[in-house]
Structure formats: C-alpha cells, structure tokens
C-alpha cells in the first residue's frame, strides 16, 4: 500500500510504500529515496500526508528514482506543475493504444519538454524544427500518437502548438517504444535528411516524399544506423555489382556512408554502401524494382 507524502492536485500525488517506511513528518519523508508519483482520476481528492493512496484500475505509478536525458524525475516534479505531468501521461496513454507496452518512465522528460515548450511559446519564442517532415515520415505512428497533445495543450494552457513541436514530442514517444534516447532518434532523422540532401543535390531535383522508394530509402538509412551501432553486419555484399552497373549512385552512397559514420561516431560496414546505392537508384531512376 502507498501512503501520501504530498498532494499535487486531485489527480496526482507523491507517495511512499507503507511497508518500507513510516511517516515521521513531511520533511523527513520527502528526503527519503523510494518515492513514487501516483496518477489517476481523484487519487488526491481530499487526501492529506499520511493518508492511504488507493490505486484504481486507471491509476499510474511512476518511480521518482528515474534519471533521464533531461534530469532527475524528482527535480522535474518539483519544477513543473501537475498539469504538465498529466499532459505527458495523456500522450503516453495514446501511445499505449497504438503500440501496447511502452517505457512509461519517459513521462518526466516529456513533461519537462512540454513545460519549456509552453513557456517559450508564451513568450512568443518558437524553436523551428528543420527535421519535422523527416520525423513525421520516419516515425509516422509516433507522430500520429503525438498529435493528441495539440487539443490538450490548447485546453490546459491556452497555447496552440505547431507541427515542429509535435515532431519533438514524437521523438519522445519513439524513445518510449524503442528504448532509444531522444537525441539518438534526432540524430537518425538528421542522418536521413543529410542523405536526402546529398541525393537531391546530385540529381538537381526534389525527391517525391510520398513515393514508396523515398520511404524505403528513409527506413533503410534508419536501420543501417541501428545495425551499425549494434555491431551487426549484412550477410552479403552488392558492392561489386552496384559499383560497376551504377557508379554514380554507388559514389553517392559511399559519400553518404562516410558522412553518417562521422555523425554517429561509428564506422559503417563497407557492405552497407551497395545496399544504400540500390535504394538511391530506386529513388532517382526507378530502374530497380526488385525487393531487397
């Protein structure tokens, strides 16, 4: 059973496990380590420190021992108001509907991001996201889940967030699904954009982002990075064939692989060049239709 340490609002409390510590006063209790954030409709209504916190079917329990990219959970809870925690929780519920089990401990970093995003927008400051379109296509289901935050933020804070902010929130959703840091997901999106820019400059035209070949290229670059970071290698090489039959595309792929290696601080396996060249061919000329 949990006992209330502090009531944040009707739907959010900080609590401690009753069987591992006794209540000797608020100051001592707040200094102890094993604290939890409990969220659920009415969970804090009429409660005072020391009262039992009754968990219901829709209640959520978060450990305040979590430490993420944006800091300690305890520090974030002290800084942001409960409405930001509730907003982040709504996003995670939407993600769970789409993906099933997720790492809900990103609640704190997501709430912190939303807090500062709203703070900036209230001052009229906006941070543009040049990778929004890439994020929307690369992590399209995560982006779809993140869209639910627009009416919530408008209702709670009177702010209408833009697509760029939805893109950033989508990266947090992706982090909850794939156990990947938000910064790493952003790096992947940046690598995809770098790849597309190199190809577009080489062919002197914009690539149709709605095409199947474009989506294949994006996802190939994404998983190429994942393979490289994990140390996985492709079982066969297309380098000899692609370098002879499609030398221009192979040269582009070689340049892209070199640049991505520098970005992710991992050397890409040589075999990746041929497969990337094949996807570039699909995008630029549609000459290759066979599946990889």
Domain ranges of the chain: 1-65, 67-180, 184-284
Query: Could you tell me which CATH number the domain at 184-284 has?
Result: 1.10.1790.10
The confidence band for 292, taking pLDDT boundaries of 50, 70 and 90, is very low
CATH topology of domain 67-180: PTS-regulatory domain, PRD (1.10.1790)
Mean pLDDT (the chain, rounded):
87
Which pLDDT tens digit goes with each residue over 155-180? Answer: 999 999 999 999 999 999 999 998 88
173, burial (CB in 10 Å: exposed 0-12, middle 13-18, buried 19+): buried
Which pLDDT tens digit goes with each residue over 24-77? Answer: 444 444 444 588 999 988 998 888 888 888 888 888 899 888 766 667 888 899
Average pLDDT over residues 106-124: 93
Share of the chain above pLDDT 70, in %: 91
Same fold, 67-180 and 184-284: yes
Q: pTM for the full model?
A: 0.83
Residue 285, pLDDT score: 77
Average pLDDT over residues 185-200: 90
Calculate the dihedral angle through the C-alpha atoms of 93, 99, 105, 108, rounding to the nearest 10 degrees: -50
Pull the structure tokens for residue 38: 């409990």
Distance of CA 140 to the CA centre of its chain: 12
Residue 228, pLDDT score: 92
CATH H superfamily, domain 1-65: CAT RNA-binding domain (2.30.24.10)
Pull the structure tokens for residue 61: 């329990």
H or E element in which residue 38 lies? strand 35-39
Helix axes 247-264, 212-230, angle to 10 degrees: 50
Contact 149, 114 (CB under 8 A): yes
Residue 24, pLDDT score: 45
The confidence band for 23, taking pLDDT boundaries of 50, 70 and 90, is very low
Residue 32, pLDDT score: 45
Residue 286, pLDDT score: 55
């Amino acid at each position: 059973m949990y006992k209330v340490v502090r009531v944040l609002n009707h739907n959010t409390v900080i609590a401690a496990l009753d069987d591992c510590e006794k209540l000797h006063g608020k100051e001592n209790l707040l200094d102890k380590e094993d604290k939890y954030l409990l969220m659920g409709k009415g969970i804090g209504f009429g409660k005072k420190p020391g009262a039992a916190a009754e968990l219901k079917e829709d209640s959520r329990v978060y450990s305040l021992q979590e430490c993420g990219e944006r800091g300690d959970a305890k520090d974030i809870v002290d800084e942001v108001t409960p409405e930001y925690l509730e907003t982040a929780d709504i996003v995670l519920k939407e993600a769970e509907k789409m993906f099933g089990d997720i790492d809900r401990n990103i609640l704190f970093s997501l709430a912190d991001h939303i807090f500062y995003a709203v703070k900036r927008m209230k001052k009229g400051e906006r941070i543009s996201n040049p990778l929004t379109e890439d994020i929307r296509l690369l992590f399209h289901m995560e982006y779809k889940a993140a869209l639910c935050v627009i009416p919530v933020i408008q209702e709670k804070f009177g702010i209408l967030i833009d697509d760029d902010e939805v893109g950033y929130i989508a990266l947090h959703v992706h982090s909850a699904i794939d156990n990947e840091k938000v910064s790493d997901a952003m790096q992947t999106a940046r690598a995809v954009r770098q790849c597309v820019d190199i190809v577009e400059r080489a062919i002197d035209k914009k690539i149709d982002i709605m095409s199947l070949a474009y989506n294949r290229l994006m996802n190939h670059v994404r998983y190429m990075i994942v393979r490289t970071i994990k140390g996985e290698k492709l079982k066969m090489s297309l380098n000899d064939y692609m370098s002879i039959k499609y030398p221009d595309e192979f040269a582009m792929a070689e340049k892209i692989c070199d640049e991505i290696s520098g970005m992710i601080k991992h050397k890409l396996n040589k075999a990746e060049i041929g497969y990337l060249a094949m996807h570039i061919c699909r995008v630029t000329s549609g000459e290759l239709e066979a599946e990889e």
